[in-house]
Every structure is written in structure tokens, then in C-alpha cells.
Amino acid sequence: MHTLYGSSDEREMDDRFAEFKEDVDMVKLELKVGMRFRNAQVFRNALKEWQVQQGYDLKWVRNENKRITAVCKQECGFRIHASPMQNESTFQIKSLKPLHSCEISAMQKNIHRELMVDVSKSQVYRAKRKAKETIEGDLRKQPIVDENDDEVERPNRQLTPVFKRLYIKLDAQKQGFVQGCRLVVGLDGCFLKGIYGGQLLASIGVDEYNMFPIAIVAVEAECKDSWVWFLTQSIEDIGAGNDIGWTFILDRQKELVHTFTQILPNVEHRYCLRRFYTNFKQKFRGKEFKVLMWKAAKAGTKREFDYHMKKLGELDKENKPNEWLM
């Protein structure tokens, strides 16, 4: 299927298409014509994640702020194109040829060569799925022990219970953090692959050499409720009291900010600079902007900070990158 429509129709069709939600749709990506993304970078991230989930390699034909086009590296016919909506930064998929034929065709040829048997594409799909279940096992058949009713769900009391959340921390990790790390904790999350989806949340410390893992949890979604639960468990483990001395580094997730307001109102929390730079470089491109931003961030005195921020503002007096950062 190949669908295409022009920018003149965007406003009329806008309400017919769903907006891509990073915290929900990334779990099991389904790309469709008309799907809207907050900006170009969000679309790029979604397309990269889709490659991983689907197991295909794409190459960028165009990778610009105004146009992004990708095709299958095997040139089997898959093609996707997205561009901004009229007078907006919102990106939208404008055309899509979704069917890959490269992998299945290759398997059909191998089967014919090895076994002298012709098989259909549907037969190859079914055989591939069965082989994967044989090698990796079927997660749906894995039992669990129902020892903690608070974190186990029973959609139906007659069915086998499934985990709602799972907290994992080794004692060696706790002791290593308490004895050898600064009172700095980074928090982040990522999507889980597989039939159940969900997300993995992690807390990371810093020792004198590198990052130091503290704990991880598997949760149903990255929401305020799951963050409150995770932080409550972590605080009890590592003894992070609600007082000065502790610093938590976040990626500025709305749910996480609200969580700190609720359970750790007096603890310092700061935002990850790398995430700031990801947003910053979409508006202010070039090495000079990058160098000055990082110099300002690493400044040890207010005077040094003000100097680099002033230089940053002089690079683009119209858009004022220094004010954007502040």
C-alpha cells in the first residue's frame, strides 16, 4: 500500500490521525500514514526503535529538519517519508510503503535451494514465529509465585497471576553505593521489548571511576504511580533521607518532577544536561554553540559562567540562545 497526500489537505485531515505518544506508543510501534510526532527528533527516535522491534535495517535518503525519508537497505520497496505540518514544528508521516519483502524472499530462496520445496510467504512467517518460540520459549507459559499481592495482578481470579511490577537490587550494589559513591543518583527509564511491553526504570550512582548501577524495576508504564513506588523502595534501601546532601538527576519527565514534589520535597533535583543539549541543538546548530554551552555548564564560578553565556548570546543575537537556556 502506498498512500500520499499533500500539505493543502493537512488541516482537514489533522483530526483523523493520532498523535504519537512517546510513553505509550513506543512500546509496540505501529507506523501509519498521518501519524503526528512532536518534532523531527521524536520521529527519528521512533523510526530507530521501529527498526529494532521489526528487525530491519533502514538507510536515510534524507535526514533534514524539514524532510526525513528512509528506505530498506536491501531495496525491497519499503519507504517512509515525513515532514513538518504547515506552519508547525510537528512532524507527520506523509507517505509509507510498509511491506518488507527482502527477508521473507531470502528465506523462500534458501528453502527452495536446500530442500527443493516452494513455500508461500505466510508459511515462512508461521515457521519463523514457531522457531522463535522454540528457541526463546513462550513467555506466556512462564509461571510465577504469588507472594506479593500488592505487585501482582489477577485480571481474572481463575487465571495465572502476572507481575505488575518487579524490583531488583543486589546487596553488593547497595553496599558499593553506600560505601563508595557520592550522594548523587540518576534516574531514567526505557521501553521493554516482548509480548508484555512495559518499561524498565533504573537508578544509577557515580563512583570515582564511572557510573554505578543501584537498582532496576520492571513496571507497567512510566507514570507517577510507578515512580513513587520505585523511589519509595530505593529510598528505604539506600537511606536517602528527605534532607540536604542528596542530589537526584532527572530527564525532566513530568511524572518524575511531580513525584519528587510529593515524597522528596527538600531534596535537590537537577535535569540531565545531555537531554537539554538534544533539544538545544535542534534550534542552534553548529560546533560553536555546543562548545560554549558545555563550557558554561562546567564553569566553576559565576563569573566564568556569565562569560560563556554572554559569548553564546553573541553568536545569535536575534534568537538569543543564552536566554533560551536560562
CA distance 224 to 238: 21
How distant is the alpha carbon of residue 188 from its chain centre? 10
What is the pLDDT at residue 155?
A: 53
Cell of 103: 527477508
Stronger pLDDT, 323 or 268, i.e. the higher one: 323
The chain-wide mean pLDDT, for the chain, equals: 78
CA distance 292 to 290: 6
Q: Where are the beta strands (DSSP E) in 154-313?
A: 162-163, 166-168, 184-191, 199-206, 211-219, 247-250, 268-271
The residue-averaged pLDDT of 131-142 equals 67
What is the pLDDT at residue 58?
A: 85
Q: Per-residue b/e over 137-167, b at no fewer than 16 CB within 10 Å? A: eeeeeeeeeeeeeeebeeeeeeeebebbbeb
At 302, the amino acid letter reads K
Q: CB neighbours of 75 closer than 8 A, spacing ≥ 6? A: 102
What is the pLDDT at residue 304?
A: 94
Tell me: pLDDT of 137 over 70: no
- pLDDT digits over 87-126, tens only? 777 889 999 887 766 667 677 777 878 888 888 877 877 7
What is the pLDDT at residue 188?
A: 85
Q: CB neighbours of 247 closer than 8 A, spacing ≥ 6? A: 183, 184, 185, 267, 268, 269, 270
Q: Which DSSP helix (H) or strand (E) runs through 69? A: strand 68-72
Stronger pLDDT, 43 or 131, i.e. the higher one: 43
What is the pLDDT at residue 295?
A: 92
- pLDDT digits over 143-170, tens only? 554 444 455 555 555 556 667 888 988 8
- pLDDT digits over 211-223, tens only? 888 999 998 887 8
What is the pLDDT at residue 179?
A: 87
What is the pLDDT at residue 162?
A: 65
What is the pLDDT at residue 192?
A: 82
CA distance 43 to 145: 40
Cβ–Cβ < 8 Å for 314, 292? no
- pLDDT digits over 67-86, tens only? 999 998 877 778 999 998 87
Tell me: pLDDT of 12 over 60: no
Cβ–Cβ < 8 Å for 186, 272? yes
What is the pLDDT at residue 139?
A: 59
The residue-averaged pLDDT of 179-185 equals 86
DSSP letter assigned to residue 78: -
Give me the domains of the chain, ranges plus CATH numbers: 3-100 (no CATH), 110-138 (no CATH), 163-271 (3.30.420), 274-325 (no CATH)
What is the pLDDT at residue 8?
A: 38
Helix (H, G, I), strand (E, B), or coil: what is residue 290?
helix
